[in-house]
């Protein structure tokens, strides 16, 4: 047949030159067709985190989601924990298998690494260790999910994969609420699927302390339950470690009458007196219970940030912080834990704290500041505990030369350092700045470059958005700490959409980014200038001091004049939110996974749109386009919006605190700490409707 083909070619060409031209064109066409086919295969299969090295052959295997995978291990290794039953596994033998795997600690990849090769008829896996085997099956599971979703065969492919950072940890902050128990187990599986290998839980009073039961919240989860979660996580290569705040951030302890005598300042529940021996009796008991609850943890995070205690007994300033830090670090050492503490108080003492955040300073300027501050920076250097990890936290400017200099300085002085970025700080309702993923990426890549011991993604519960809204930031963190490559943010978002929702909505989930500005402006829509939403609950006369003025019946048009800028934004945001809600409705028919996350985003959009529409109703009142009666009806509409919002949120989270829970002094104005029910989430709206009733009810 081939001979006949070439005979035809020779007959139809008058010269060798013409023939060679034709063959060249044909070869280029074949290369183009092959390239297109290979690109199509690559686009169909998305791994997140992105793997270190992947070679697509351009061919498809004979294997797919419906295939039976007959497995055998040459090293008699057990199957790793499987995160779901997405493919059929049948035990085979040496001569009877199409899925072969083994552990070989001599292969040329770091810990947790693996090779995964898919041929025409089979799969071969070689892992460095048990963790690598677990992660190789995770990657295979993602490929098979894409096979199922798109009804296509697996690609013929070679993968070499390993982490860029050894410790990749998520912060779970339960200070102001807990999720329902089953949610945490599902969350562990999801974190494991993106190769997260650590969790630091900030317990505060949500651990059922047995040695100091007064401190445990009435609805806290018992030590035995947290221990079962820790065991479950450990089986999935995630080690849970506790964070128990110590010197400051101690309101959850010092709010109780029983422990008021340990306060640094008698009328303030924020900080302990570090020279009172009973301080350590209490703290060490809490540490012991937390360690019991997290038996596989490597660390004991002791906090230590944002606290300056009163000078006493001839000691002052950072000396007192150091006394506390040395005592708690010694406790950690005796209990086989590595202590971690936030590094801000040390840098404040050294006079360089603001330098770590200032993005305008050049490297040369930062170096000169460091020289000027050298005496202060090294003043207590010899007194620092040597077993401690300095957690270099920077949530908004990780690329600042001062932040990078601090990391270098720690390493130059043989101090262990780990970074901390953020997927949620003090944002209201949902993470903003597009999930902070640009900063997450930056700190991850600089951590890899500077060979830090690890990186933590903090997720602060101060204003308590729904945990599902953190997921994109978490996936970004998982990607950049594992892969360590400069994947563009748009590429990451497309991969996230594919992996999290469906291959069919890669470029169709911009609603997350589109929510950013409407949510940001919503927080203070009904709040007066120079006031803040998170202080409304703390002011007895907030209706007058914090909530915007309403249209006057006697002075029509004045309100329009005063609020022209907000009106303009409200109209724009309301229109865009309408489009976002329509987009979300359309996506519900296309997505395959994580429908609940979409429901949560929908509630965010509905709540904010309601508020903007309510604001525009006030505009219509001032224009005499609606009656006062219509404005008074807003309260009932809000009741329905809130009911739906709480119904969706309560599917996974405990939205109300126990009736006997004691709220603390709330020194840092945490909105989620300002009511036992969810009033804190809607506080500006509630106060607005209160003001509307007081103002217009008589009319």
* Contact call for residues 389 and 418 (beta carbons, < 8 A): yes
Contacts of 206 by beta carbon, 8 Å cutoff, 6+ apart: 174, 175, 178, 217, 220, 221
Residue carrying structure tokens 């106060």: 687
* The total number of residues written for the chain in this structure: 699
Residue carrying structure tokens 């404040």: 348
* Contact call for residues 387 and 338 (beta carbons, < 8 A): yes
Q: What is the pLDDT of residues 7-23, one digit of tens each?
A: 544 555 556 666 666 66
Residue carrying structure tokens 């009435």: 218
661's tokens = 């829970």
Q: What is the CA radius of gyration of the chain?
A: 29
Give the separation between CA 428 and CA 408, rounded to whole angstroms. 34
Give the separation between CA 476 and CA 498, rounded to whole angstroms. 13
Predicted confidence at residue 86, as pLDDT, reads: 84
H-type alpha helices, 13-129: 16-44
Count, in order, helices (H) and strands (E) of the chain.
24, 19
Task: Name the residue among 646, 651, 647 with its Cα closest to residue 675.
Answer: 646
Predicted confidence at residue 453, as pLDDT, reads: 87
Contacts of 288 by beta carbon, 8 Å cutoff, 6+ apart: 211, 335
Q: Please, is 615 exposed, middle or buried when counting C-beta atoms within 10 Å of its C-beta (0-12, 13-18, 19+)? A: buried
CATH superfamily of 45-161: Chitobiase/beta-hexosaminidase domain 2-like (3.30.379.10)
Contacts of 267 by beta carbon, 8 Å cutoff, 6+ apart: none
Predicted confidence at residue 510, as pLDDT, reads: 86
Contacts of 432 by beta carbon, 8 Å cutoff, 6+ apart: 516, 519, 520
Mean pLDDT by 10 residues, the chain (699 residues): 47 60 59 52 92 96 97 94 91 96 98 99 98 98 97 98 98 98 99 99 99 99 99 99 97 98 97 98 99 99 95 91 97 98 95 97 98 95 93 98 98 96 98 97 98 97 98 98 93 96 81 97 97 95 97 93 97 98 94 98 99 98 96 97 99 98 97 98 98 88
The gap between the terminal CA atoms of the chain, to the nearest Å, is 95
Predicted confidence at residue 697, as pLDDT, reads: 84
Predicted confidence at residue 103, as pLDDT, reads: 98
Overall pTM surpassing 0.75 (yes/no)? yes
Give the separation between CA 231 and CA 225, rounded to whole angstroms. 10
Predicted confidence at residue 353, as pLDDT, reads: 97
Q: Is 320 helix (H, G, I), strand (E, B) or coil?
A: helix
Residue carrying structure tokens 């000027």: 372
Domain ranges of the chain: 45-161, 164-196+343-487, 514-696
Write b or e for each residue in 209-248: b if 16 or more Cβ atoms lie within 10 A of its Cβ, otherwise e: beebeebbbebbbebeebbebbebbbebbbbbbbbbbbbb
Give the separation between CA 579 and CA 593, rounded to whole angstroms. 22
């Amino acid at each position: 047949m081939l001979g006949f083909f070439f005979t035809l070619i020779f007959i139809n060409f008058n010269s060798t030159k013409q023939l060679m031209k034709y063959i060249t064109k044909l070869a280029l066409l074949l290369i183009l067709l092959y390239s297109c086919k290979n690109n199509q295969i690559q686009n169909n299969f998305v791994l997140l985190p992105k793997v270190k090295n992947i070679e697509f052959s351009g061919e498809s295997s004979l294997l797919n989601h419906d295939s039976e995978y007959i497995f055998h291990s040459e090293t008699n290794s057990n199957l790793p924990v499987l995160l779901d039953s997405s493919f059929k596994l049948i035990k085979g033998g040496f001569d009877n298998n199409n899925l072969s795997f083994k552990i070989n600690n001599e292969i040329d990849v770091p810990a947790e690494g693996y090779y995964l090769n898919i041929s025409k008829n089979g799969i071969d896996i070689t892992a460095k260790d048990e963790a690598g085997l677990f992660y190789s099956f995770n990657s295979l599971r993602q490929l098979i999910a894409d096979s199922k979703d798109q009804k296509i065969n697996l690609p013929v492919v070679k993968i070499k994969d390993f982490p860029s950072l050894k410790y990749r940890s998520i912060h779970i902050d339960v200070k102001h609420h807990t999720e329902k128990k089953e949610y945490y187990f599902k969350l562990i599986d999801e974190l494991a699927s993106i190769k997260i290998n650590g969790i630091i839980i900030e317990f505060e009073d949500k651990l059922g302390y047995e040695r100091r039961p007064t401190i445990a919240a009435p609805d806290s989860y018992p030590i035995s339950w947290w221990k079962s979660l820790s065991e479950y996580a450990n089986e999935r290569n995630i080690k849970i470690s506790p964070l128990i705040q110590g010197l400051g951030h101690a309101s959850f302890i010092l709010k109780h009458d029983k422990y008021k005598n340990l306060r640094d300042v008698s009328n303030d529940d924020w900080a302990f007196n570090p020279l009172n021996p009973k301080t350590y009796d209490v703290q060490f008991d809490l540490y012991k219970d937390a360690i019991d609850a997290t038996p596989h943890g490597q660390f004991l995070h002791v906090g230590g940030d944002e606290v300056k205690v009163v000078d006493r007994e001839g000691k002052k300033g950072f000396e007192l912080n150091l006394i506390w830090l040395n005592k708690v670090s010694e406790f950690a050492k005796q209990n086989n834990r590595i202590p971690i503490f936030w590094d801000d108080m040390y840098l404040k003492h050294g006079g360089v704290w603001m330098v770590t955040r200032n993005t305008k300073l050049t490297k040369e300027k930062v170096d000169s500041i460091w020289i000027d501050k050298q005496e202060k920076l090294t003043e207590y250097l010899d007194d620092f505990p040597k077993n401690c990890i300095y957690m270099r936290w920077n949530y908004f400017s990780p690329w600042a030369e001062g932040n990078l200099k601090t990391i270098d300085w720690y390493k130059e002085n043989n101090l262990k350092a780990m970074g901390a970025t953020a997927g949620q700080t003090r944002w209201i309702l949902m993470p903003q700045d597009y999930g902070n993923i640009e900063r997450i990426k930056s700190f991850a890549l600089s951590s890899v470059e500077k060979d830090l011991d690890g990186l933590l993604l903090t997720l602060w519960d101060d204003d308590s958005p729904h945990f599902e809204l953190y997921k994109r930031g978490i996936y970004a963190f998982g990607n950049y700490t594992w892969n360590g490559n400069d994947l563009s943010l748009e590429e990451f978002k497309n991969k996230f959409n594919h992996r999290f929702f469906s291959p069919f909505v890669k470029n169709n989930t911009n609603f997350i980014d589109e929510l950013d500005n409407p949510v940001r402006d919503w927080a203070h829509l009904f709040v007066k200038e120079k006031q803040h939403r998170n202080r409304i609950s703390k002011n007895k006369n907030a209706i007058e001091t914090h909530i915007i003025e309403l249209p006057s019946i006697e002075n029509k048009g004045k309100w329009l004049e005063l609020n022209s800028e907000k009106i303009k934004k409200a109209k724009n945001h309301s229109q865009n939110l309408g489009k976002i809600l329509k987009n979300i409705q359309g996506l519900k028919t296309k997505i395959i996974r994580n429908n609940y996350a979409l429901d949560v985003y929908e509630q965010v959009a509905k709540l904010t749109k309601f508020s903007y529409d309510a604001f525009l109703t006030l505009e219509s009142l001032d224009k005499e386009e609606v009656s006062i009666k219509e404005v008074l009806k807003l309260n009932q509409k809000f009741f329905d919006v809130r009911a739906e919002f709480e119904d969706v949120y309560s599917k996974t989270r405990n939205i109300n605190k126990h009736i006997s829970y004691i709220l603390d002094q709330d020194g840092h104005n945490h909105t989620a700490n300002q009511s036992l029910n969810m009033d804190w989430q809607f506080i500006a709206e509630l106060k607005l409707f209160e003001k509307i009733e007081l103002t217009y009810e008589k009319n």
